[in-house]
Structure formats: C-alpha cells, structure tokens
Structure 1
C-alpha cells in the first residue's frame, strides 16, 4: 500500500483536487496575510543569477524584516553602508497540499541592511530561527514597492 502512494502521478493528484478560482488580493490584505506567517522565501541575485533561500521574517509596518547570520549568503548581498539597497523579492504562502486552497503573496522592493542596534535587538527578540544558528546579528529591511497576492478558492 505504501508503494502505491509513492507511485501516484501528477495526473492522479490533479483529478482528486476540485477546480479552484484565483482572486487577486489588494495590497493591504496581502501585507496582512504576510504578517500571519513567519517563514517565506527571499529571491536575490548571486553571481548574476537568481537565488532563493528560505528565511524567517516579521512585519514592521508594511516592511518585511528578514534575519541574517554572519557567514550566510544573504549577509553579503547588502553592504551595511549601501544606502540604496538591492532589489529582492520575498514570497510567502499558505496553500493546503491536498486541496490546493490558500493564498500566496510576493513583495518586490529594495532591501537595506538594518544598522540601528535598538531595532536589531527588537527584531532578534521577535524572530525565531527555523534552523540551529547563532543568535541573529544582522537583518534586512525590505520596503515593498510592488505587492501582489492571490487567493485560491473553491
């Protein structure tokens, strides 16, 4: 029986899922939903190619704050003195694996390194690492220029 489950095809799963509708989310609703989860994916440029990493985040107003650790790839994408920042995308979602219902939000904007010690301390106390890392010692603030979201409904 276990072997049968591992040999299911995409077509088998597609037949089991009811048709869905896709509804666009407004900016405010998309950002609100983003604040209901703590894990997402950041898309950035590494060696002139797109790269994606799962990271923890929190919302600070409309901004997305992502924790960093020394030595991590993300820590090197923005220099602490870079006032303009770098363009990144951030995506988070909650989509049921069985029904394929839920939502997805993508934020695109400039990421800047957080340098204020008070802000870093506040973020460190509110962000929980999802892997075993040393304490957070840096953060990125993503200011959303473009916010898109969709909800999948029956």
Structure 2
C-alpha cells in the first residue's frame, strides 16, 4: 500500500468511498467535498493536509485529512478519515493514522484531536480511535442535535 497526496483525479473515487461507508450524512459528505476541493484548488491558502491510500493500480481505497488547530501550539485535528468498504478491516485506516502521526511528529506536533458523534453509526469509529491509542477526553452533550453528543478524542504524540 502506498500513501500519497490526494490529486483532483481522485475526487470522484474519494466521494464515492465516503458515501459508501454509510456513516456520513449528506451534509457531512458535502462538507468533505468542499474541504477537498478548496484544499486542492488553493493549497497555498489551505491548512488541510489530505492524503490517500492507494492500491496496486493507484486507485484510492482510503483517505485522511488533518491540519493544525488555529490559535494553538503544536495541536492538530484529524478532520476526516474514511476507508472503502472493500478495504475495511485490512489495516488501511491504521496505516493512514500511522502516516498522519509520523507526519505530524516531524512538524513538532504534541497532540492530535478528533471529534466524532455519539450516535450508533459512529460506534465503529469510536472503537477504532480507542484501538489506536486515542482517549476520550470530553463529551459535549447534545452538541450536534438533541441526543447526539460531540465526542472528543485525543492522543499525545
């Protein structure tokens, strides 16, 4: 598996990949598309770092988006991570996390944060973060909507 920067030609596959997870709602998919488009069109203005894992035919089967948290010192957010259902449970997500963490260590990062939902569709995501050493540090009740809490995970690098 190779991890490389995302390019424009990857966008349709990445958006199908995100939709195919069955986890993200329409608004979340739209935001992901806007972030990807903006980061690729204006890299000089963007703090988003977007990479994809590709198979032997250079077709993306996972992607990750992360960047510095404004107004902090050496703190970063993991904004998005998604893996194609055909590559799920084959280590692609873990490799993307390892790649991000190694990249951030070179930048002097101290902590990585990731926000997720408390709803059932995100149960696997929460377990994935915990499996990879992220700890739940905060829960903001009814953040997204009634009964949907914002779960904030953090990992010290």
TM-score by length of structure 1 reads 0.25
- Look at both structures and tell me which one has the larger radius of gyration over its CA atoms: 1
TM-score using structure 2 length: 0.25
Q: Which has the higher helix share?
A: 2
Greater per-residue strand proportion: 1
Q: State the structure with bigger RCO (CA 8 A, min sep 6), 1 or 2.
A: 1
